[in-house]
Amino acid sequence: MISALRKVRKNLLSKNSFVKYLLYLIGEIVLVIAGILIALNINNRNEARINEKKVVSTLVQIQQELAIDIDKATQLIEYYRVKDSLISLVLLDKVSIADYKNPNSSLFSIVTNVVDLVTTNNGYNSLMRNIDNIPVRFEPILAGLNQVYIDDKTQVDYYNKSISDVANKVLERWSEDYEWYSELFTGFKDDTPLEYFLNSPFYKNEVVTYNVISMQNHLPFIKQYRTDAIKSYLAIAALVDPMKPIEEPFIIPRYLYENIEGTYQINGALNIELKFDEGHLITTRPNQSSFELHPLSATQFYAIQSKALLNFQKDSAGNYTGFTVYQNSREIQAEKIE
């Protein structure tokens, strides 16, 4: 090709055809530029494919980390359900010396046992380092990921530390003020320490403080993190591989609880209504604000700003017949009437 072009150029010069030679040069320049542009386009496409493959790999890593965190959050919601019952029993003076002596009792660790939601954000950090090269089609998921890893995680981490600080301060005070402190770990010699847990107003103050930080702050942000993490997990799945089945246990298809809608009556008096609104399961009560329920399973649901955990019952035909509310160590029954 190059040899043929040289012959054409030489022939034009020998014939003193300057105009034709000039046109030839322009054509040659155009061909060179076109070749460069084609090469650049091919290179850009290759780089775009390589970059998209890298972004997809990072998003899959984020999915895996979200799945782990969602499972941790699910376990913590159950952990706090049990803890809420114990706290209520203490504050309502419904525990006895026999309860504390029960070897299976967790009463001594109500304000000293802490379980954190330690989240992982390696994939998200990697994605943010490559933020300028994220393909346009992936941009819609960024807002949801920022909600999870900036807003939600910041709150969870803050109350992780807050609840740990409360527990550490309690242990420090006990170790300084009470001779029986070491017996918490070696076994009580007599019932003297139990009097503190049963009758001391200062202990109840400690329980109340723990309750405020854990149940009214830590738990709601754990629920919020779980809810937003599931949304981001699904958003990634829809973009990365929409045809791939999702088999994670925390993804509860709506068809599994489609017939949950209806009117439920609590204690034969208070009626609440459950209905779907643009895919969200909304609970409404007379003269009270509505709130959304989120599934832990096809029969177990939670509200982010409430400690209540609703466990629904079904009949043999799979129809919902009512639910039980677990809150403050009580079980409140509701019957589906419509």
56 domain residue, yes or no: yes
41 domain residue, yes or no: no
Residue 52 has pLDDT above 60, yes or no: yes
Among residues 240, 265, 287, the one where a domain terminates is: 240
16 domain residue, yes or no: no
262 domain residue, yes or no: yes
Do residues 156 and 121 both lie within one domain? yes
Do residues 179 and 56 both lie within one domain? yes
Q: How many CB atoms lie within 10 A of CB 315?
A: 10
Q: Please state the separation of Cα 41 from the chain's center in Å.
A: 41
Percent of the chain with pLDDT over 70: 86
β-pairing verdict for 270-277 and 280-285: antiparallel
Whether 272 and 266 have beta carbons less than 8 Å apart is answered as yes
Q: Assign residue 113 a region: left if phi > 0, alpha if psi is -120 to 50, beta otherwise?
A: beta
Do residues 65 and 180 both lie within one domain? yes
Task: Identify the residue with better confidence: 9 or 247.
Answer: 247
Q: The tokens 């090269």 sit on which residue? A: 133
How far is 170 from 89, CA to CA, in rounded Å?
20
Do residues 134 and 192 both lie within one domain? yes
pLDDT at 228: 97
For residue 282, the domain's CATH number is: 2.40.128.50
Looking at 21-25, 96-100, 171-175, 326-330, which range is the least confident one?
A: 21-25
174 domain residue, yes or no: yes
- 136-161 tens-digit pLDDT: 889 999 999 999 999 999 999 999 99
- 62-104 tens-digit pLDDT: 999 999 999 999 999 999 988 998 999 999 999 998 998 888 8
pLDDT at 120: 93
Do residues 215 and 262 both lie within one domain? no
Residue closest to 21 by CA, chosen among 33, 34, 10? 10
Give me Rg for the CA atoms of the chain: 32
- 5-19 tens-digit pLDDT: 556 555 655 555 555
Do residues 219 and 273 both lie within one domain? no
Do residues 93 and 236 both lie within one domain? yes
> In the structure, what pLDDT confidence band is assigned to residue 57 with cuts at 50, 70 and 90?
very high
Residue range 241-255: mean pLDDT, rounded: 90
C-beta pairs of 145-149 under 8 Å, 24+ apart in sequence: 145/62, 145/232, 147/228, 147/232, 148/66, 148/124, 148/225, 148/228, 148/229, 148/232, 149/119, 149/121, 149/124
| Domain that residue 317 falls in | 254-336
The H or E element containing residue 283 is: strand 280-285
Do residues 202 and 311 both lie within one domain? no
Do residues 64 and 182 both lie within one domain? yes
- 286-321 tens-digit pLDDT: 878 889 999 999 999 999 988 888 999 999 998 999
Among residues 240, 263, 293, the one where a domain terminates is: 240
204 domain residue, yes or no: yes
Q: How many CB atoms lie within 10 A of CB 263?
A: 15
pLDDT at 9: 54
247 domain residue, yes or no: no
Do residues 236 and 309 both lie within one domain? no
How far is 296 from 188, CA to CA, in rounded Å?
40
Could you give phi then psi for residue 268, rounded to 5 degrees? 70, 15
Average pLDDT, the chain: 87
* Coil/strand/helix, residue 293: strand
How many domains in the chain? Answer: 2
Buried b (16+ CB within 10 A) or exposed e, 135-163: eeebeebeebbebbbeebbebbeebbeeb
Do residues 145 and 81 both lie within one domain? yes
Do residues 231 and 260 both lie within one domain? no
69 domain residue, yes or no: yes
Helix ranges, the chain (H)? 2-14, 18-91, 97-101, 122-129, 142-146, 153-177, 183-186, 192-199, 201-213, 219-240
Residue closest to 185 by CA, chosen among 177, 173, 193? 193
Among residues 181, 214, 240, the one where a domain terminates is: 240
